[in-house]
């Protein structure tokens, strides 16, 4: 049964629970648009408000975070990606939207819908499927028919770090990405 939430929006169900609140499914009464909303109870713990600020900094690219926090989260992101790569798995869609923080403020890499094996029994294969989210996609995915998995994931981690640190200055990320891709493609054509 739908419960009124805010103007024109009803809570349909709770999708999940975390340390500080719930994720709820809301449906607009007029348009029938469905959205997921994270509802946070900041009174549950004194560090809750600070943790919410950090999570916003990871997910919202127009808010920069302290270098110390970005450094720690980046180390955790690289450790998570290295762990995957040690097992021959590539994520292929590393971006802020696929990064969560747990109740101890530890980074968790999520959404493995595009992940694939690039190494099995010691044999590594090159990938050829263009996937991921611009502007986090490495230039070689756009300019080559085949690419190595690991550098593509590491490129995306670097863009996530840039987004964490630069905040609002990252608004031109698509322009920067386009410039890098054009440079990379020109360099490839020159070598041919």
Binding residues for ATP: 38
Q: Where are the alpha helices (DSSP H) in 16-148?
A: 48-59, 67-86, 139-143
- Which residues are known catalytic residues? 93
Nearest in space to 157 (alpha carbons), one of 58, 68, 74: 74
Quote the CA–CA distance of 135 and 65 in Å, as a whole number. Answer: 20
Reported as type and span, the H/E element at residue 17 is: strand 9-17
> How big is the chain, counted in residues?
192
Quote the CA–CA distance of 19 and 188 in Å, as a whole number. Answer: 49
Question: In sequence order, which residues have a C-beta less than 8 Å from that of residue 6 and are 6 or more positions away?
Answer: none
The residue written with tokens 């819908």 in the block is 113
Q: Which residues are annotated as part of the binding site? A: 38
């Amino acid at each position: 049964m739908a419960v009124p939430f805010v103007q024109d929006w009803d809570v349909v169900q709770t999708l999940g629970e975390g340390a500080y609140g719930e994720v709820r499914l809301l449906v607009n009464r007029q348009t029938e648009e469905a959205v997921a909303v994270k509802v946070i109870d900041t009174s549950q713990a004194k560090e809750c408000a600070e943790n919410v600020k950090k999570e916003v900094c990871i997910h919202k690219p127009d808010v920069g975070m302290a270098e110390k926090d970005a450094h720690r989260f980046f180390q955790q992101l690289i450790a998570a990606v290295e762990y995957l790569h040690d097992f021959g798995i590539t994520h292929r869609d590393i971006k802020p939207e696929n990064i969560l923080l747990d109740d101890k403020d530890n980074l968790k890499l999520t959404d493995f819908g595009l992940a694939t094996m690039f190494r099995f029994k010691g044999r590594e294969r090159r990938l050829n499927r263009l996937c991921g989210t611009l502007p986090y996609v490495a230039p070689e995915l756009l300019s080559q028919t085949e690419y190595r998995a690991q550098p593509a994931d590491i490129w995306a981690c670097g863009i996530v770090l840039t987004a964490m640190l630069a905040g609002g200055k990252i608004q031109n990320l698509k322009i920067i990405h386009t410039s890098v891709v054009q440079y990379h493609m020109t360099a490839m054509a020159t070598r041919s």
